[in-house]
Chain A
Amino acid sequence: MDYFSFFGLERKLTLDASRLQQRFYQLSKEYHPDRFAQKPAEERLKAEEASAILNDGYRVLRDPVQRAEYVLRQEGFDIGEQRSKDVPPELLEEVFELNMALEELRHGDEDARASLKEAHGKFVAMRAAADEELCALGRRYDETPGRDALQQIRALLNRRRYIRNLVAEVEKELA
């Protein structure tokens, strides 16, 4: 079942969040198992299934990253995690510095904490920039859908995933 059609929405990477929420509430009132408690078991099961699809779909569609990954997967792109291991070339320098700082901190050098915090700020900014770029690429794809646009989106998502992992790693170390 395609999530977009389940929600009765056009298959687009740019979505109106409030319209999506409104549809979610509307369909919840229709499909939630609570509405079928007095119905035969067969209908109850169907409602449970429909309700699960609705909830799973809402989680995917309301998040721009998951939404883009969903469309990529539907278009036959492989979006496996393993690709995130390769360092994107433009990040090589930052990652090298970060690893140095992490190493120092692990050896008890508390001064490294400051440079880690700085790195954290930098990566969070990069992630925000990637989110903005994703929006722009999404708009472009919606105007003229094609594999080129999707390929660009996939490359961006890989880079974003890499940055996200860096942020998580630094946060774990700083906590």
Chain B
Amino acid sequence: MSQVFDIDFESHRKPRIAGIDLGTTNSLVAFMDLTGPKVVPAPDGGNLVPSVVSYTAEGEFIVGSAAQRLLIDAPERTVYSVKRLMGRGIADVQEELSLFPFRIAPGSESVIRLELGERTLTPPEVSAHVLGELKRMAEAYIGEPVTQAVITVPAYFNDAQRQATKDAGRIAGLEVLRLVNEPTAAALAYGLDKREDAVVAVYDFGGGTFDISILRLHGGIFEVLATNGDTHLGGDDIDNRLLKIALEDVASEWGEDLSHNGEAVQTLRRAVIQAKEQLSFVPFTRIEFSYRGKTYRREITRELFRNLIHDIVERTLEPCRKCIADSGLTVEQIDEVVMVGGSTRIPMVRCAVESLFKAKPHTELNPDEVVALGAAVQAGILSGSVDDKLLLDVTPLSLGIETMGGVVSKLIHRNSTIPASAKEVFTTGVDGQTNVLIHVLQGERELVKDCRSLARFDLTGIDPMPAGAARVEVKFLIDANGILSVSARDLRTGKEHTVEVKPSYGLSEDQVEAMISESIAKAEQDFQERQVREARLEADTILTATEKARANDAWFDLSDEERQKISHSVNQLLLVYHSGDHNLIRSKIDELNEVTMKLAENMMNTAVRSALKGTHV
């Protein structure tokens, strides 16, 4: 056999790593197969799972298109676009909250706590539900457990946002092998490395974030030269613009302010999104919204739409110009432009990109799927099944430490290839001082107050000495995921120092651990329920078969005692059928199997005899 079928079965035994695009609006999961990356189909037939999570009054979580419907029916229990809240504190999202109908629980300074019905959830937990859904889909599709994943993030995500994404994966029971920047993933999916030496720009305008990356492709290496972006800019902003106008229209036409009515706002949001999407294909359309017997209609032309969103599109061009400057290249040296993200379907966006880069943008691949496909390619690189490609990505933001006078001293500059590291020697300022506090920040500005606080590290256990005598070398390392770690060494003794980390934003390790154990408990419960369901199915099969057998000749060949035993066993099984204990159900099934053994044999013999006689049973 093996000479005939020369297939490497070994390669299929390796655990398969999922490639996941955890998007603001939609999420997808993809795998590498023998012919290339493939997106896993969603239950509704499409490929996209809406990144919407609803917590029902019955205490169950619903994810995806089913949850999307609940945005209208149960807006106070349903959350969307949670990616915009990842790794952020309440002070960061005031603008969002004026438009999103989310209720925020107290204590949301460093991690936002969303109130969904009776539950309070952090953004990583909400994202974990989306990831859990993708995990289930993926497992059903490939027929084996999925425990490892590559997850994409906007290139311009900071440390806290990346960490939050990684936490979400862990809570969902996924080992996140790598976070990949979305534009870079898209470049992988396009396979533009076929050209021997090329420079490519990736313009990624999604639901909630905007990224631009410029890469050099050379012999299978994808080297990111520079990246820029805005993690607060996306299709959501366009929707909100249209929504605001429509709400004002409705207020003046109906004399009724609906902006605080969750159900009405969500219905109207649907209507404006539909109009927006249609305008990518037709020159004019209509926003139509019916509510409590009243109807609002408004014609909208592409021209008007263009004027409405002009400044939003313009806001994407400034990061592009900065990125080109940072790459050290001119526009003329950029060979190709790749378009990613649903918002790049808007004709005006394509025009703006074309005129800035003086090149016709690539739109061959579905802009909704290309990032997930790239994530699958990266998963292939990590599993070893793709060995002719390698991504060299960069850190989008400079990393620095607070020095005297509230000034930030930069240690690792933006657009440095990662992993990247920097070392700095610290000493004490007062006699007998035994610890040094280091404040780490991310950002390009000079002053601490204008940068984003990342974490405070406390170097402890320094021997008491005169001021300035201690010498502790601190190593800052940004890993291939763009996440910082810090280690310290005493230069006099060579001893490793302990570093206590106090992240400024995000969950602590203990909190993540607690969430993981909760989700494991939940998974255990799910597993139990499935076992019970399966046991009942098995019981159904044997009960039906036994019932049927009562009409067979073989039944009458049994002794009264044997027939009684079977009836007794059937009753026993029926008694435990509705218990929640699958072991009990199984043991009764076994008993029934045992006592019907002879019956089954008899039936078999009858069947054989009939077959020999050439008649049917």
Contact = CB atoms under 8 A, between A and B. Distances in A.
Interface of A: 25, 28-29, 32-35, 37-38, 48-49, 51-53, 55-56, 58-59
Nearest to A32: B390
A28 B222 CA distance: 11
B418 interface: yes
A6 B477 CA distance: 19
Nearest to B415: A59
Interface in B458-490: 477, 479-480
A52 B417 CA distance: 9
Given A48-B419, A52-B419, A34 B479 contact: no
Given A29-B221, A32-B390, A33-B480, A55 B418 contact: yes
Given A28-B221, A58-B417, A38 B384 contact: yes
Given A32-B390, A48-B477, A55 B416 contact: yes
Given A25-B218, A28-B392, A37 B416 contact: no
Nearest to A29: B390
B381 A34 contact: yes
29 contacts: A25-B221, A28-B390, A28-B392, A29-B390, A32-B390, A32-B392, A32-B480, A33-B479, A33-B480, A34-B178, A34-B378, A34-B382, A34-B480, A37-B384, A48-B477, A48-B480, A52-B419, A52-B421, A52-B477, A53-B421, A55-B416, A55-B417, A55-B419, A55-B420, A56-B420, A56-B421, A59-B416, A59-B417, A59-B420
Contact of A37 (B178, B392, B477): B178
Most buried by B among A34, A55, A58: A34
Given A28-B221, A37-B383, A38-B383, A51 B419 contact: yes
Top 3 nearest A-B pairs (CB, nearest first) are A37-B382, A52-B419, A52-B421
Interface in B351-390: 378, 381-384, 390
Given A34-B391, A37-B177, 16 more contacts: A25-B219, A25-B223, A28-B390, A28-B392, A29-B221, A32-B390, A34-B390, A34-B480, A37-B178, A38-B382, A48-B480, A52-B477, A55-B417, A55-B419, A56-B422, A59-B417
Contacts of A58: 417
B587 to A, nearest CB: 42
B539 to A, nearest CB: 43
Contacts of B418: 55
Nearest to B394: A55
A49 B485 CA distance: 12
Nearest to B420: A55
Contact of B480 (A25, A29, A51): A51
Contacts of A34: 178, 378, 381-382, 390-391, 480
A49 B420 CA distance: 9
Task: Tell me whether chain A's interface is mostly helix, strand or loop, or mixed.
Answer: helix
A59 B414 CA distance: 12
Interface residues of B, number: 24
Interface in B412-437: 416-422
B162 to A, nearest CB: 15
Interface of B: 177-178, 218-219, 221, 223, 378, 381-384, 390-392, 416-422, 477, 479-480
Contacts of B391: 34
A30 to B, nearest CB: 10
Contacts of B420: 52, 55-56, 59
B394 to A, nearest CB: 9
Contacts of B477: 48, 52
Contacts of B219: 25
Contacts of A37: 177-178, 382-384
Nearest to B392: A28
B305 to A, nearest CB: 33
A5 to B, nearest CB: 18
A52 B420 CA distance: 5
Contacts of A29: 221, 390
B43 to A, nearest CB: 30
Contacts of B480: 32-34, 48, 51
Contacts of A25: 218-219, 221, 223
B414 to A, nearest CB: 12
Nearest to B478: A52
B160 to A, nearest CB: 21
A133 B113 CA distance: 59
A100 B218 CA distance: 49
B461 to A, nearest CB: 23
Contacts of A59: 416-417, 420
B430 to A, nearest CB: 23
Contacts of B218: 25
Nearest to A53: B421
Contacts of B392: 28, 32, 55
Nearest to A47: B419
Contacts of B178: 34, 37
A37 B176 CA distance: 11
A35 B390 CA distance: 9
Nearest to A38: B384
Contacts of B177: 37
A175 to B, nearest CB: 12
Nearest to A37: B382
Contacts of A28: 221, 390, 392
B416 A33 contact: no
A25 to B, nearest CB: 5
Contacts of B383: 37-38
Contacts of B421: 52-53, 56
A52 to B, nearest CB: 4
Contacts of A55: 392, 416-420
Contacts of A33: 419, 479-480
Most buried by A among B417, B420, B422, B477: B417
B237 to A, nearest CB: 26
A21 to B, nearest CB: 8
Nearest to A50: B419
Contacts of B390: 28-29, 32, 34-35
Contacts of A49: 419
